[in-house]
A and B are shown apart, each in its own frame.
Chain A
Amino acid sequence: MTSRVFLFGNDIDTDQLAPGQYMRGGIDELAAHCLEGVRPDFASTVKTGDVVVAGTNFGMGSSREQAAEALRRLGVAGVVARSFAGIFYRNAINLGLPVMIASDLSAVTDGDPAVLDVEEGRLRLMEKGIDIALEPLPDNLKRMLADGGLVPHLKKRFAAERKENDT
């Protein structure tokens, strides 16, 4: 099955991504309501590998990392936006959700068949035959993302430290 683009506008906030009234429940319940305020069918139609594309300041608002976790739980391959809110950006990398910046996303239409290639730093629009170049991630974040997020990254570091202490 082809993965597709779900296109959003500017200033998508964390109350849209992880609505407060579901914050006391688990991530599955939260994910079922992810973005329902702007797109009621998002959680029920998004599939593994799909890409969220948005304008500026994606993820503004709260520090609740469930905003990024919900997208990951729904199988979203990553978010490509013109810019991200700072805390959301850090949370996403920490949870292993790729977040990539592109200066021009005007070629993207909602529903475009697309593949996000984090390694190569591009969003490939299959039917349009367009490759959108994405800003490369800083080295420290590239390593963290490659490890799968902060927790596996720290596990690796602690294991290496223990090994060093043993020798």
Chain B
Amino acid sequence: MAKTLAEKIIARAAGRDRVTPGEVVTAKVDLAMIHDSGGPRRVEPILKELGAGLFDASKVVLISDHFVPGDTDEGARILELTRAWAKERKVAFHDGQGICHVVLPEGGHLSPGMFVVGGDSHSPTGGAFGAYMFGVGATEMAGVLATGEIWIRVPGTIMLEWQNRLSRGVTAKDMMLALCGRLGMDGGKYQAVQYAGEAITALSMQERMTLSNMAAELGAQAGLIAPDETTVAWLEGVGAAVGDWQDLTTDPDAALLEHHVFDAAALEPQVAAPHSPANSAPVTEAGGTAIDVAYVGACTGAKYEDLKNAASILRGHKLAPGVELMVAPSSRRDQDRAEADGIMAVFEEAGARILPNACGICAGYGTHRLGEDVTCISSTARNFKGRMGAASSKVWLASPFTVAASAVAGRIADPRDFLDGGRA
């Protein structure tokens, strides 16, 4: 019988030959990822109350990112507690290395076919590697850490097929903003979204991560991409176990919940107006708004390739008067690479403020927050009212290309006008 990729992974984790969408099964987790906010400070009191230890410390990865750099008293205290817990519970710990969704695969912890839970809503990012990964809250995570298992309602699969290839200056972020607009913030119906087609095959791993990451904004449980040679090469590069991956696909005649087809070649750069990623439109129609702040940050929009794209626009240009550019590279590894390639120097020459490798303004947990009435264009995933700062601040979402172009223009601008050093 034909199966979807989601069904194959869940059936294996549930110890079943096959599973059917809609049924509730209990599955064993291969890995649990937690961070400093929903992690030790929340789960340890519950573990104590349950009188339980970790189901398997070797299957737990802890990453600090939400309260890094500890710029408030409470944040610093939470980080101390997090570090002490990592030692006590003897789990793998990446401290101050960057945002969990980027650091987890960089650390070689993910492999195709794994069934993984993460204590963060952008956990679907792991789907880019062919893992079924989804986000849960802290109490549910404590239950997973105590038992090694979790219930799941087997999802149907919503296939998002992108034919042809993206044109220059158009990225995975633009695909996701367009999808949020077309399908809505609940278009994923808490089912499994799967991305496929020529445009997806042509994407790099980091661009694929952006697609899977923003499955969260579609309200999907997971955002899967079947592993291929690109996946395997990337994973081998970080020393991850790859295993058998050839069968980790949705069979051609498997029953799908929905199947949508899009033309990647026709897609233009997108921007999403405040206060929802679903308020998206082509920049050619929705551009022009004057901005105060340009932000290249978060797991969604500050990976190495995001930095590279933004820098390609900034090179040889000055920021528009009065515009502040802030850059928070997603991980230390990506920042190091960007430094070696001269990308960070471009940001510094442009006068950008470089922020720590952490969730930063996107989570809004620390001291860096947008002030009253500030208009910001951001490469992050969410522009909910008040999330990144004052309730009166307005956040537009766009790709790193478009954020950089807007920083140069002083208003929301089409990045294609700035490619190849065009237009000053």
Contacts and interface: CB of A to CB of B under 8 A. Distances in A.
Q: Do A and B bind each other?
A: yes
A24 B365 contact: yes
Nearest to B120: A63
A20 B119 contact: no
A15 B52 CA distance: 32
Contacts, number: 114
B387 A86 contact: no
B37 A140 contact: no
B38 A63 contact: yes
B46 interface: yes
B186 A151 contact: no
B276 interface: yes
Contact of B143 (A57, A61, A150): A150
A20 B364 contact: yes
B135 interface: yes
Contact of A11 (B67, B72, B185): B185
B369 A21 contact: yes
Q: How large is the interface on B (under 10, 10 to 19, 20 to 34, 35 or more residues)?
A: 35 or more
Interface in B100-145: 119-121, 123, 135-140, 142-143
Contacts of A158: 50-52
A20 to B, nearest CB: 4
Interface in B161-218: 185-186, 190
Contacts of A37: 385-386, 391
A15 B135 CA distance: 16
Interface string A1-30: 000000000010101100111011100000
Contacts of A60: 185-186, 219
B231 to A, nearest CB: 25
Contact of B46 (A19, A61, A90, A151): A151
B139 A94 contact: yes
A94 B153 CA distance: 15
Contact of B151 (A23, A25, A86, A140): A140
Contacts of A85: 186, 190, 219
B75 interface: yes
B139 A65 contact: yes
Interface string A48-72: 0000000011001111110010000
Contacts of A154: 50, 143, 146-147
B419 interface: no
A91 B186 contact: no
9 contacts: A24-B72, A24-B75, A24-B78, A37-B391, A60-B219, A61-B384, A62-B120, A64-B37, A150-B143
